[in-house]
A and B are shown apart, each in its own frame.
Chain A
Amino acid sequence: MAELIQKKLQGEVEKYQQLQKDLSKSMSGRQKLEAQLTENNIVKEELALLDGSNVVFKLLGPVLVKQELGEARATVGKRLDYITAEIKFYLHSNQDEGTAPFSVDSWKA
């Protein structure tokens, strides 16, 4: 009887730990995304400061590839949107994962 309970408890503890790990992973991913978001915001603003006389390059590996200013602005804007969407997605998944540990806890308690 006691063993059974212990086993169950063990299982729940593992589940809980797994959930914790997932949570921390998603947290770190989210932090990365947020950093990228701020960076891209700055790039966007700086591109806005430039005019057509400047040549814009993009670093692809060891190569600096020439880009047009307008193209660069568009690309950066798209990237920003993508990042914000990913953050939202992470938020939702976090919420789900966040509540689950608590339910496990309540069961344990």
Chain B
Amino acid sequence: MEAPADPGPPASASASASASAPLRAPAVARLREEQEKVVTNCQEKIQHWKKVDNDYNALQERLSTLPDKLSYNIMVPFGPFAFMPGKLVHTNEVTVLLGDNWFAKCSAKQAVGLVEHRKEHVRKTIDDLKKVMKNFESRVEFTEDLQKMSDAAGDIVDIREEIKSDFEFKAKHRIAHKPHSKPKTSDIFEADFANDVKSKDLLADKELWARLEELERQEELLGELDSKPDTMIANGEDTSSEEEKEDQNVNVHVTHQVTDSVTSSSCYKDVTHSELFSGQLNGQVNCSMNGSNSYHSNEDEDEEDDDDVGGDIENENDHDALGVGDHSIPTIYFSHTVEPKRVRINTGKNTTLKFSEKKEEAKRKRKNSSGSGHSAQELPTIRTPADIYRVFVDVVNGEYVPRKSILKSRSRENSVCSDTSESSAADFDDKRGVLRSISCEEATCSDTSESILEEEQEENHHKKLLPLSGTPEAFSGTVIEKEFLSPSLTPHPTMVHPVLPTIPERKEVLSEVSEEPTKRVSKFKAARLQQKN
């Protein structure tokens, strides 16, 4: 009677499973071998125990029939070749081996009882073995899938993140409330990424960032849409086969290909523009959010890579680098980035953006707009989610209404997480209407909007960045950006982007005007101010 668990093969199997080495076919094959060995082992044992069970059944039968006669005439074996006729007497007396050199003389019925007891034990052993076998069979299946994945190198992407031990956490280390609970193991995460079906955790996260990206790209692409839609596609396909594996921060510049007119719910994007940034990674993301309806035919594409440009506010945001593996499956190398401390994001109703990077961007934009009449060439550098918020600020009636950020602020003083209260919801519904009406007007005359903005600069408006009382949440699927379509369709030589150039200038004003970027304006005040304008 042996214990059903065998430490050897499972240990090795689990060891190889938990290895963080790159996914290679031989390793996977070996893992599969080991697991299959365990499975066959279990099967053999189960066979053995079933035989034992059968034997016991036969024994029981014999015991039950034995006392029928007082004595039997039998041929008694003498040694290996000889038999002798004899009699079997005392048919009811049975000496039973209890185990460990213990014997007991009992009646046939008592013996039957003992046999029954042993059969119970055998049954238990068989059950345990079956459980183990089932377990390992499922593991084998998984390993098979893994193998297929590594062989195919098709639309499945391996996502890896290498942990650097010198990574500093500026935020507090989280303390588990329960003393021995497992910490969050989110860093090394190998996920199968086939058609967004698997790896839901990572995907959900990425979807959020993808959404932000998409909003940005919609803006840009609408300017470019007329010019060169086809080259985008071509670019995407060409560069998608590039292979790059980078762990560091990589600027993934993404341009969005819009087949429809922009809908907020379209969550599809192409990654192109390799010429803009060296080491650029390309891929394609299909994310389904809010019932998106404009799906590009990305089934043509071989790889689906999730690219995410994120910044780290509290060292928790994601930054993806897209990589296509040469010999093995395409791999995304994932690393956290540290956002420079000076960045502060609008995280709530009453906060403002303080952003020294914007100054730099403002200068850049100024140069662009003054230097060349070329439109839509320089896309904003987005390295972090913070950048997205920085870049996409709605222009409401000439004012800047930052969008509600889901990022955590470093200082935590302004952190207001996603506000789902009724009041705010009602509020921004109103605002949305206001925004739309306003932006419609803007749509008709891009020039006037620009002039308005210029006026604002000159007038040195009193406003700081108003809190995003009127803006929808980033993932609500509302279509604020729709309104910016028409202005962007008519590219203005001095306006690189409908929204972007104004922001830095605005920020310039801000920085000049006030040294109190963190002055908070209440939502109601902001509404009043807006209405004034």
A residues with a Cβ closer than 8 A to B are: 34-36, 38-40, 42-43, 45-47, 49-50, 54-60, 64, 67, 72, 76, 79
Contact = CB atoms under 8 A, between A and B. Distances in A.
B317 to A, nearest CB: 34
Interface stretch (B97-105, B185-193, B200-208, B344-352): B97-105
Most buried by A among B98, B103, B104, B110: B98
7 contacts: A40-B100, A47-B102, A47-B104, A49-B117, A58-B101, A59-B101, A60-B101
A59 B103 contact: yes
Contacts of B525: none
A76 B104 contact: no
A43 B100 contact: yes
Contact of B2 (A35, A42, A50): A35
B113 interface: yes
A57 B105 contact: yes
Interface string B109-142: 0100110011001000000000000000000000
Contacts of A58: 101-103
Given A49-B113, A55-B105, A79 B3 contact: no
Contacts of B117: 42, 45-46, 49
B95 A57 contact: yes
B106 interface: yes
A93 B95 CA distance: 41
Nearest to A67: B102
A60 B101 CA distance: 8
A76 B110 contact: no
Interface residues of B, number: 20
Contact of A50 (B1, B101, B106): B106
A64 B102 CA distance: 9
Nearest to A36: B100
A54 B1 CA distance: 26
A57 B1 contact: no
B118 A54 contact: no
Contacts of A72: 102
Contacts of A64: 103
B106 A54 contact: yes
- Which A-B residue pairs are the 3 nearest by beta carbons? A57-B103, A59-B101, A55-B105
Interface in B299-336: none
B94 to A, nearest CB: 10
Contacts of B114: 46, 49
Contacts, number: 67
Given A45-B117, A50-B104, A57-B103, A34 B98 contact: no
Contacts of A56: 102-105
Contacts of A39: 1, 99-100
A60 to B, nearest CB: 8
Contacts of A36: 100
A87 B121 CA distance: 22
A46 B114 CA distance: 6
A72 B100 CA distance: 12
Contacts of B121: 42
A55 B1 contact: no
Nearest to B105: A55
Given A50-B104, A55-B105, A56-B104, A35 B99 contact: no
Contact of A54 (B2, B100, B101, B104): B104
Contacts of B101: 58-60
Nearest to B125: A38
A72 B101 CA distance: 11
Nearest to A61: B101
Interface string B37-64: 0000000000000000000000000000
Most buried by B among A35, A39, A40, A49: A49
B5 to A, nearest CB: 11
Contacts of A46: 96, 98-99, 104, 114, 117-118
A50 B99 contact: no
A47 B98 contact: yes
Contacts of B1: 35, 38-39, 42
A39 B96 CA distance: 15
Contact of A43 (B95, B99, B106): B99
Contacts of A38: 1, 3
A93 to B, nearest CB: 17
Nearest to A42: B99
Contacts of A35: 1-2
A55 B102 CA distance: 11
B126 to A, nearest CB: 15
A12 B105 CA distance: 58
Given A47-B102, A60-B101, 12 more contacts: A34-B3, A39-B100, A40-B100, A42-B121, A46-B98, A46-B99, A46-B104, A47-B104, A55-B105, A56-B102, A59-B103, A72-B102
Nearest to A64: B103
Most buried by B among A35, A47, A57: A57
